[in-house]
Every structure is written in C-alpha cells, then in structure tokens.
Amino acid sequence: MSLEENKATVRRFIEELNKRNITIMDELVAPAMVHPTLQVRGPESYKQFETMLWKAFPDWHETILDMVAEGDKVWLLAEVTATHKGEWLSFLPYINKKVRVAPTGKKTKFTYIGIYRIVDGKIAERLSIHAAVEFYKDIGVIEYKEVPEDVS
Amino acid sequence: MSLEENKAIIRKWVKAINLRDFTVLDEFIAPDYVDHTNQLRGMEDVRQFYIGAFKDFPDLQRTIEDIIAEGDKVWVHVKITGTSLAGKKIESEVVTIFRIVNRKIVEGRSIPQLVSKEKKLKIT
C-alpha cells in the first residue's frame, strides 16, 4: 500500500466514525489490532469502546488538522469537540484507574495525536497522545494541584 | 533537505538537550523560531525555558520512542522522565511536530500526554 493509500484509510476511518458508521470497524480494523492507550483489542472490543464513547458524548466529532505517513505508519493531529451527555466509563493511562462519570453537560475541545500502523489496508495498531488532564478538567472529573512540572 | 537529514537534526537536538549542551541552539534553532505550545519566540526564550525545566527537574531526560517525517515536518514521539527537587518522579509522553527549513528548526507544536503522576488527582 502506498503512503497516500494508508492516509486515505485513516481519513476514511475517522470520517465514517464521525458519521456513526460502526461497521467501518469490520472493514478497517485488523482482527489482532491493539490500542494500548484505550486497552482495546480487535474490532469487537473497539466497537464496544466507541459505542460507550458515543453514549457519553453523542456529538463527539473529530477534525483532522494534519497528517503524515512513512513506511507502515500514519500519524495525525486532530481536534475533538464533544458534549458530555451520558455516563462515561474510562481508563486513565498512567493513573491506571477506571473512572465512571455521570453526565455533566459540559463541552470539551482538545487536540490529540493518533499514531496508526497500517498493514494490508487495515489498522493493526493505534496509540493516542493527548492532554487527558485538560479533557478531564473540562468535564469536571479531576481536581489537581499545579506543581512545577512544565516538561512538555 | 532529505527526510532522513531532517530527522537527524531532531535526534541531535534531543541528544544535545539531554547532555545540557546549549551550543546546539545556535546550530539548530532558527532566530525566529516559534514554540506554539510554550509560547516561546527565538533562541533566548528556548534557552530560558530549558534552564527553568532543568532547575525544577535536574535529571530531566528525553527518549525518542518514534520519529516520522514528511515534507518539511518531523513528528517525534518522546518519553520524558525526571525527578523534582522534592524527590518525586515524573513520567510523561509528548508528540512534537517540528518544521525544518534549511537545516534550522523554525516551528514546534507539542501535544503532551496526561501530564504527571505527581498531580494531585481527585476522581469523583
């Protein structure tokens, strides 16, 4: 697959999820796909995660701002906008805790980096890097104290 | 410039910062460099930013997890570790998108992972 084809695969994946077409998972997610950030494995577990996400944030929408590809990798910068309208159950990386949050009605807007590995036109691996603290602050989950830690 | 040359510049930059070698600023940072995330402009801002970070975290180290390039951009995924003056360990990840023109880094934008273990978290 060419770099442009791999980028088109990721672009289509995001666009179809924006349209709530969950069956895109069967087409584009490899059976052994892993997503360590979300602790998701394979299309069925990814579908469960996405369904839960859409219940919690019915208007969850991702806009691709930039994208690069090299070898079997596609990296993208995207902006998410969403309103927290349903119960949200999530895994917090680093903190290693699951959180369950009742709907707050709050809006969030943040950018993230998605790192994909594409094999034979299917998503074989995905990672996300995002300022989760900001996201959780937006929806009112986390109260935290600033310490000198400006290491970004 | 080839993509590999641009990636090599970022690798050298990360290595030099780990070694606290500020002479690399002149070599790699463009005079009108802009860091959109930390609101830095030019070399002096960058120097002061790192001086501050090393004061708070004397052993701060960056490890490149992965690096990818296309056009004039280099995207780098970095793991950051360090110990605060109070002895607390921090661990973070960041992806930075750099733009390189004529062997000089002209622009940077970072997306950090959940910031640190040190934050006081209250999960309701």
CB atoms within 10 A of CB B123: 14
Q: Give a yes or no: residue B124 inside a domain.
A: no
Q: Assess contact for A38 and A131: CB atoms under 8 A.
A: no
Q: Give a yes or no: residue A147 inside a domain.
A: no
Across the interface, of B84, B92, B111, the residue whose CB is closest to A111 is B111
Distance of alpha carbon B114 from the chain centroid: 16
Please provide the DSSP assignment of A22-84 as one string. Answer: TTHHHHHEEEEEEETTTTEEHHHHHHHHHHHHHHH-TT-EEEEEEEEEETTEEEEEEEEEEE-
Q: What is the CATH number of the domain that holds B24?
A: 3.10.450.50
Q: Give a yes or no: residue B13 inside a domain.
A: yes
CA distance B19 to B67: 20
> Is ipTM beyond 0.85?
no
Q: pLDDT tens, B31-70?
A: 999 999 889 999 999 999 999 989 989 999 999 999 999 9
Residues 6 or more apart from B11 whose CB is under 8 A from it?
B64, B67
CB contact under 8 Å between B93 and A129, yes or no, is yes
Q: Give a yes or no: residue B118 inside a domain.
A: no
The tokens for A14 are: 């995001």
pLDDT at B121: 43
Give me the helices (H) in chain B, please. 3-18, 24-28, 42-56
Taking alpha carbons only, the member of A115, A96, A69, A34 closest to residue B121 is: A96
- Could you give the number of structural domains in chain A? 1
Q: Give a yes or no: residue B119 inside a domain.
A: no
**Whether the predicted pLDDT of A113 surpasses 60:** yes
Report the percent of chain A where pLDDT is more than 70.
86
Q: Assess contact for B115 and A146: CB atoms under 8 A.
A: no
> Which DSSP symbol is given to A106?
-
The tokens for A16 are: 């179809």
**Whether the predicted pLDDT of A142 surpasses 60:** yes
Provide the 3-class DSSP secondary structure of residue B14: helix
CB atoms within 10 A of CB A122: 18
CB contact under 8 Å between A133 and B117, yes or no, is no
Q: What is the CATH number of the domain that holds A24?
A: 3.10.450.50
Q: Give a yes or no: residue B64 inside a domain.
A: yes
Q: Give a yes or no: residue A124 inside a domain.
A: yes
Q: For residue A116, what are the domain limits?
A: 3-138
Q: For residue B96, what are the domain limits?
A: 3-112
Taking alpha carbons only, the member of B57, B54, B38, B56 closest to residue B46 is: B38
Q: Give a yes or no: residue A38 inside a domain.
A: yes
Give the residue with greater pLDDT, A11 vs B22: A11
CA distance B70 to A78: 17
Q: Scanning every residue of chain A, which has its alpha carbon at the shortest distance from the alpha carbon of B3?
A: A70
CB contact under 8 Å between A129 and B77, yes or no, is yes
Confidence of residue A149 (pLDDT cuts 50, 70, 90): very low
- Could you give the number of structural domains in chain B? 1
